[in-house]
């Protein structure tokens, strides 16, 4: 063999060696990237199955056992927000942008001067809504909150906060309960030994509401309101004053669907879930596993009325509009707080879409 040619071939082999090594390293990197631990390959053969089975459209807010208010994306179970709730506060309402907090145990003699607070899901600064004993949130209006607001001069008022207005409805008597019905707030006024109900909205003069004497509200809907007259559970129409007896027991965690045609109620004796029509008749019912008590449950319809979420006995479960059980949320986040299971379903925030 020609020594010169042999040297050229040797140098060629040496030049080819780095290329082989680089190819081998590249191949190993590809294998490592595909098979890296802790990240299984993702397929696109079907829809992601959420915590309740099929993906649900909406955001779930509830109070966890750690006194944290969680906002969960029901499409994929992702946590959209979480806010610690001070021990002296309780959740009063929620929207897709804010959580509204009120007093849990008002201080005697100072209760009327307590401030209701709004806490945004994005950002951490509280906004005081003003003093008062009661608060109501109007979902269809979005930005409206009404709080009882005692006045320094001795009168009392209902403060209405809208997107562009802040109104104060005054009275020489005392304002009692507040409840949202449709786009308005129903407020009870007591003067001397009598009482009257008023329909209030920002920028509008008060209008009378036709509710029975001694009515105590539990859940306001788009058209009607559920509550009690004495010990009897009823559904009332604030336009006409018509009243329908409710076939089952009424719970403080009751909720109307978006159409105002179905009312969901959770009962503790026996433990069960019931849905009623606008005339108080039972549409469907299902049993719940104990323990369930009047202080440990809540129920909320989805924004479109296609499903509802129930907190009962330290669990979170979802049901279809026809009563079909969709699944449980037990393992996803903190369990509901025993003694204060509070739940709401709202439209997804804009930043989560």
User: Domains in the chain, ordered, with CATH?
Assistant: 59-352 (2.130.10.10)
Please answer whether residues 87 and 104 qualify as being in contact, where contact means their C-beta atoms are separated by less than 8 angstroms. yes
If one compares 50 and 259, the residue with the highest pLDDT of the two is 259
What is this structure's pTM? 0.78
For residue 52, what are its two tokens?
Answer: 């309740």
pLDDT for res 245: 92
What's the pLDDT band for 79 if we cut at 50, 70, 90? confident
The predicted pLDDT at position 42 comes to: 29
Cis upstream peptide for 291 (omega within 30°): yes
Spatial contact of 320 and 46, defined as CB atoms under 8 Å apart: no
- Could you give the count of Cα atoms lying within 13 Å of 119 in the half-sphere of its Cβ? 22
pLDDT of residue 255: 92
> What's the length of the chain?
353
Spatial separation of the C-alpha atoms in residues 199 and 196, rounded to whole Å:
10
Res 237 pLDDT > 90? yes
Query: How is residue 173 annotated by DSSP?
Result: S
Contacts of 51 by beta carbon, 8 Å cutoff, 6+ apart: 74, 77, 327, 328, 329, 331, 332
Among 68-72, 165-169, 207-211, 237-241, the minimum mean pLDDT is found in: 165-169
Sheet containing 271-276, strands listed edge to edge, beginning at the edge strand earlier in sequence:
255-256, 263-268, 271-276, 282-287
pLDDT confidence tier of residue 266, bands split at 50, 70 and 90:
confident
pLDDT at 77: 79
CA dist., res. 221 & res. 61, Å (int): 19
Average pLDDT of the chain? 75
Q: Given this model, what pLDDT does residue 314 score?
A: 65
34, pLDDT greater than 80: no
pLDDT of 347 > 80? The answer is yes
Beta bridge partners of 245: 234
Q: How many CA atoms lie within 13 A of 225 on its CB side?
A: 30
- Taking residues 237-241, what's their average pLDDT? 92
Report the pLDDT value the prediction gives residue 142, as an integer from 0 to 100.
62
Report CA-CA distances (Å) from 281 to 223, 275, 304, 317. Answer: 17, 9, 22, 24
Residue pLDDT, tens place only, 286-309? 988 766 655 566 789 999 999 998
| Of the candidates 61, 151, 73, the residue with the CA atom closest to the CA atom of residue 112 | 151
Q: State percent of the chain over pLDDT 90.
A: 19
pLDDT at 32: 32
Of 278, 274, 277, 279, the C-alpha closest to 297 is 274
Confidence of residue 156 (pLDDT cuts 50, 70, 90): confident
Q: What is the pLDDT averaged over residues 39-53?
A: 44
* Model pLDDT, residue 291: 64
């Amino acid at each position: 063999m020609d020594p010169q040619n042999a040297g050229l071939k040797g140098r060629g082999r040496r030049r080819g060696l780095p290329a082989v090594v680089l190819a081998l390293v590249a191949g190993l990197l590809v294998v490592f990237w595909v098979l890296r631990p802790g990240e299984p390959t993702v397929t696109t053969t079907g829809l992601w199955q959420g915590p309740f089975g099929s993906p649900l459209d909406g955001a779930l807010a509830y109070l966890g056992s750690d006194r944290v208010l969680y906002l969960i994306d029901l499409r994929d179970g992702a946590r959209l927000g979480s806010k610690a709730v001070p021990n002296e506060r309780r959740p009063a309402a929620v929207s897709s942008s804010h959580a509204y907090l009120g007093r849990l145990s008002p201080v005697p003699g100072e209760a009327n001067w307590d401030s209701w607070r709004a806490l945004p899901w994005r950002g951490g600064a509280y906004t005081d809504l003003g003093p008062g004993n009661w608060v109501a949130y109007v979902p269809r209006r979005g930005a409206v909150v009404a709080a009882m607001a005692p006045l320094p001069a001795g009168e009392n008022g209902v403060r209405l906060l809208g997107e562009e207005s802040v109104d104060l409805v005054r009275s020489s008597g005392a304002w009692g309960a507040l409840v949202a019905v449709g786009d308005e707030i129903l407020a009870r006024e007591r003067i001397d030994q009598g009482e009257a109900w008023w329909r209030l909205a920002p920028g509008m003069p008060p209008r009378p509401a036709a509710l029975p004497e001694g009515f105590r509200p539990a859940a306001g809907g788009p058209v009607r309101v559920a509550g009690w007259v004495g010990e009897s559970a009823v559904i009332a129409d604030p336009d006409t004053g018509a009243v329908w007896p409710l076939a089952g027991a009424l719970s403080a965690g009751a909720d109307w669907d978006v159409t105002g045609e179905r009312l969901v109620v959770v009962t503790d004796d026996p433990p069960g879930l019931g849905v009623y029509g606008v005339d108080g008749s039972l549409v469907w019912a299902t049993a719940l596993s104990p323990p369930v008590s009047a202080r440990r449950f809540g129920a909320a319809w989805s924004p479109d009325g296609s499903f509802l979420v129930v907190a009962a006995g330290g669990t979170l479960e979802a049901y279809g509009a026809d009563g079909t059980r969709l699944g449980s949320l037990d393992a996803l986040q903190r369990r509901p707080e025993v003694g204060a299971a509070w739940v709401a379903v709202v439209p997804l925030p804009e930043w989560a879409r």
